């Protein structure tokens, strides 16, 4: 889990990268940018806010031959080894980004390369290189006094509440290609940022396996539990699955199945489904791993505990312990109406 609140920007360099396809140039600043308290505060919020809000999907720098041939890997390694080389190497990063900027859809923009200290990653203090890009320009109004009147001046600038692209390369796991986080709010050119510029693959760590295994369970619930039983049991299965992850530090598949699968007949179905669909989630050979709490919390937020009925009624099963729905919600069949029904028990209505 990442904590960027204590992080400091040690140095930062600003450059502008155009689109080669449109014959736009590359502007490289001669000197690093001089920070003050005001710009430091604004830039930290601009750079770091997206990483606090999104899922922590980690990557690693790669190359078809060897990670040492990854362009960013070489540059970042030089910066970590010699922080004084930061500005000179920031120019190389901007040049590398410019070299990839040749698709008509890619927008020109400012590139910020920062050396960051006091980054807390899984409660370990480390350093990182931050690379950020602002692309979309927005109109905004400025006002100035003109004689006895107030005049409007229309200008263009960037919205510091929305970072277009960014990545953090942590000085951790160098031999494997470092640990990398990336954000991209403009999905039309994701390949350019992730594949061409960064050249990364998903990092198969505890966060990766926790997230993917729970996604696999969601698909199993939808494809197998729902057709075999009903929507209530689909929701209950996923809540039992998430609660199992939430209360354990390590995942062991046999223990998981024995606790979560109330219908033993579905266990062989689960194993067969894993053989068939497991490769899609990169968990086909995975049955033991450490559990990442942040990934569990993120998954819980995305699970819909809602039963939508064709009578325009929704039943929301809002609970932490799935036993509540099993004890207080019953499903039945009404012969007279020839319709299913849900019977809900309660003591009193809660005030909203």
Exposed, middle or buried by CB within 10 Å (0-12, 13-18, 19+), for 34? exposed
CA distances in angstroms from 112 to 11, 132, 294, listed in the order given: 10, 5, 28
Alpha-carbon Rg for the chain in angstroms:
26
Exposed, middle or buried by CB within 10 Å (0-12, 13-18, 19+), for 61? buried
Please report where in the chains the tokens 């003591």 appear, as a residue.
347
The whole-angstrom separation of Cα 262 and Cα 241 is 11
- Residue 215 — pLDDT band, cuts 50, 70, 90? very high
Torsion angles phi and psi, residue 37, rounded to 5: -60, -40
The pLDDT assigned to 321 comes to 61
164 touches 106 (CB < 8 A): no
Helix (H, G, I), strand (E, B) or coil at 250: strand
What are 258-301's pLDDT values in tens digits?
Answer: 999 988 889 999 999 999 999 999 999 999 999 998 889 888 87
Predicted confidence (pLDDT) at residue 313 exceeds the cutoff of 60: yes
Please report where in the chains the tokens 């000085």 appear, as a residue.
171
The whole-angstrom separation of Cα 250 and Cα 206 is 10
Predicted confidence (pLDDT) at residue 224 exceeds the cutoff of 70: yes
The whole-angstrom separation of Cα 90 and Cα 98 is 12
The whole-angstrom separation of Cα 350 and Cα 316 is 14
Global pTM reads 0.79
DSSP per residue, 65-127: S-GGG-HHHHHHHHHHH-GGGHHHHHHHHHHHHHHH--STTPPPEEEEEEEEEEEEETTEEEE
What are 29-69's pLDDT values in tens digits?
Answer: 999 999 999 999 999 999 999 998 887 889 999 999 999 99
The whole-angstrom separation of Cα 190 and Cα 59 is 14
């Amino acid at each position: 889990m990442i904590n960027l609140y204590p992080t400091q920007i040690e140095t930062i360099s600003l450059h502008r990268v155009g689109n080669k396809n449109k014959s736009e140039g590359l502007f490289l600043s001669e000197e690093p940018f001089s920070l003050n308290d005001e710009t430091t505060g604004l830039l930290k919020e601009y750079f770091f806010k997206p990483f606090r809000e999104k899922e922590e999907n980690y990557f690693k720098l790669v190359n078809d031959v060897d990670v040492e041939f990854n362009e960013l890997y070489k540059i970042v390694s030089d910066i970590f080894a010699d922080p004084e080389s930061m500005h000179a190497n920031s120019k190389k990063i901007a040049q590398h980004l410019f070299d990839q900027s040749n698709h008509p859809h890619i927008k020109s923009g400012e590139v910020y390369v920062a050396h960051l200290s006091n980054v807390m990653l899984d409660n370990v203090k480390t350093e990182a290189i931050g690379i950020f890009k602002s692309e979309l320009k927005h109109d905004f109004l400025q006002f100035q006094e003109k004689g006895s009147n107030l005049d409007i001046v229309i200008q263009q600038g960037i919205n510091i509440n929305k970072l277009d692209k960014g990545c953090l390369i942590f000085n951790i796991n160098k031999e494997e290609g470092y640990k990398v986080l990336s954000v991209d709010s403009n999905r039309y050119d994701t390949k350019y940022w992730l594949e061409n510029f960064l050249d990364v693959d998903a990092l198969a760590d505890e966060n990766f396996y926790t997230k993917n295994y729970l996604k696999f369970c969601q698909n199993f619930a939808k494809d197998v539990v729902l057709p075999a039983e009903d929507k209530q049991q689909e929701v209950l299965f996923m809540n039992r699955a998430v609660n199992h992850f939430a209360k354990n530090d390590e995942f062991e598949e046999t223990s998981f199945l024995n606790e979560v699968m109330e219908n033993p007949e579905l266990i062989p179905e689960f194993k067969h489904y894993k053989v068939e669909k497991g490769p899609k989630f990169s968990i086909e050979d995975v049955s033991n791993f450490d559990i990442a709490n942040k990934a569990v919390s993120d998954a819980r937020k995305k699970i819909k505990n809602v039963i939508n009925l064709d009578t325009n009624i929704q039943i929301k099963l809002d609970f932490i312990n799935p036993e509540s729905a099993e004890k207080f919600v019953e499903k039945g069949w009404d012969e007279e109406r020839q319709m299913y029904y849900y019977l809900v028990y309660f003591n009193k209505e809660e005030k909203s």
